[in-house]
């Protein structure tokens, strides 16, 4: 009987160890699944969050514009046009933009650095345009290249709008290489919407800037990003010329009106259900394994007890 009890205690310890090992395995599998899922969903979720931030920034800008008076528009446009005329007369300012003072305050109606926004319908892109092309700006939106004309239209102007491509966190100019000659994009500044038609697409080295210079009597806007994708040794330039100026035709949306995209909501709910299902399957599989082990152990205990009884009977006889 003593040997049977010892075997029973030993079996219980073994079962506890196996149970602990099974729990650890389950946790590891769940963690691996969650990490893999996070990596897979990061670009989608991050892009959505950034797009929402961009849309809210544009909506806030539109709200600010709607509160302005006609004389306010005139004041801001006159300041931008004055800056542009100075640029046209002083080509060296392209390389030394600080030669012309007051850049940061021009068209900054809200103090946030946003001067307007760009819409590229073909690519499904709408981005706020900030003053300058600092890395912090290009990570989240489009930037206006300092030393080029403000994008308010007019003869002898050439504005350059830049944004990153290939970021896992947001789309920006990732699909700019899909633009073709004849495609259009719009720049919205205050109550003015300027439409540009693409007439030239080129790839240049970073120090090749001749194609970004102002041309007499021309109204150009060039979109610039890095290329090739992921290597970034050159610059992709998509230039457009002005084909029309008018008032923005889009429906005004307030900054508070944005809601979560139903597609994102459905995806998140689906992921939660999938995780719950996986956990349930793992737990049920583990329980079945433990039940099988308990049956085997009980059979062993019965067998040992019967052996002891038979041995004792033989000794009695």
pLDDT tens digits for range 126-152: 999 999 999 999 989 999 999 999 999
296's tokens: 């085997």
| Cα–Cα dist 31/136, whole Å | 33
C-alpha 312: how far from chain center: 77
Neighbours of 197 (CB within 10 A): 15
Q: Which of 112, 119, 106 is nearest to 55 (CA)?
A: 119
Among this protein's residues, is 226 annotated catalytic? yes
| Cα–Cα dist 239/222, whole Å | 4
Spans in the chain with pLDDT lower than 70: 1-23, 26, 37-50, 169, 250-268, 270-271, 274, 281-282, 284-317
Confidence (pLDDT) at 193: 97
Pairing assessment for the beta strands 157-162 and 219-227 based on DSSP bridges:
parallel
Contact 116, 189 (CB under 8 A): yes
Confidence (pLDDT) at 311: 45
H-type alpha helices, the chain: 2-66, 70-89, 135-138, 262-316
Among this protein's residues, is 242 annotated catalytic? no
Confidence (pLDDT) at 316: 46
| Cα–Cα dist 5/66, whole Å | 86
Q: Under DSSP, is residue 98 helix (H, G, I), strand (E, B) or coil?
A: helix
Contact 240, 199 (CB under 8 A): yes
Confidence (pLDDT) at 313: 46
Confidence (pLDDT) at 255: 46
pTM of the complete model: 0.72
Which residue is catalytic, options 131, 221, 226, 242?
A: 226
Confidence (pLDDT) at 225: 97
Contacts of 291 (CB under 8 A, 6+ apart): none
Which residue is catalytic, options 144, 158, 164, 242?
A: 164
Contact 181, 199 (CB under 8 A): yes
| 238 beta partners | 201, 223
């Amino acid at each position: 009987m003593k040997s049977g009890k010892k075997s029973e205690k030993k079996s219980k310890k073994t079962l506890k160890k196996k149970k602990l090992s099974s729990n650890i395995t389950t946790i590891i599998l769940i963690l691996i699944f969650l990490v893999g899922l996070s990596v897979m969903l990061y670009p989608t979720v991050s892009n959505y969050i950034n797009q929402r931030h961009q849309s809210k920034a544009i909506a806030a800008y539109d709200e600010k514009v709607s509160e302005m008076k006609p004389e306010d528009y005139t004041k801001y446009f006159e300041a931008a046009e004055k800056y542009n005329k100075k640029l046209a007369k002083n080509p060296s300012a392209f390389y030394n933009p600080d030669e012309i003072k007051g850049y940061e305050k021009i068209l900054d109606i809200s103090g946030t650095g946003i001067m307007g926004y760009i819409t590229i319908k073909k690519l499904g892109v709408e981005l706020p345009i900030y003053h300058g092309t600092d890395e912090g700006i290009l990570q989240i939106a489009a930037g206006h290249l300092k030393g080029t004309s403000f994008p308010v239209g007019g003869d002898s102007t050439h504005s350059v709008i830049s944004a990153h491509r290939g970021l896992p966190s947001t789309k920006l100019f990732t699909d700019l290489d899909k633009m073709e000659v004849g495609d259009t994009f719009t720049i919205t500044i205050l109550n003015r919407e300027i439409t540009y038609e693409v007439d030239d697409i080129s790839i240049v080295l970073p120090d090749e800037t001749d194609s970004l210079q102002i041309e007499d009597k021309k109204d150009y806007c060039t979109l610039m990003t890095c290329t090739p994708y992921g290597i970034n040794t050159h610059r992709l330039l998509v230039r457009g010329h002005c084909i029309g100026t008018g008032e923005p035709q889009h429906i005004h949306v307030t900054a508070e009106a944005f809601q979560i995209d139903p597609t994102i909501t459905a995806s998140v709910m689906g992921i939660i259900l999938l995780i719950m299902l996986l956990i349930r399957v793992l737990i049920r599989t583990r329980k079945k394994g433990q039940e099988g082990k308990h049956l085997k152990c009980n059979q062993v205990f019965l067998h040992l007890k019967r052996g002891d009884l038979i041995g004792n009977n033989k000794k009695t006889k």
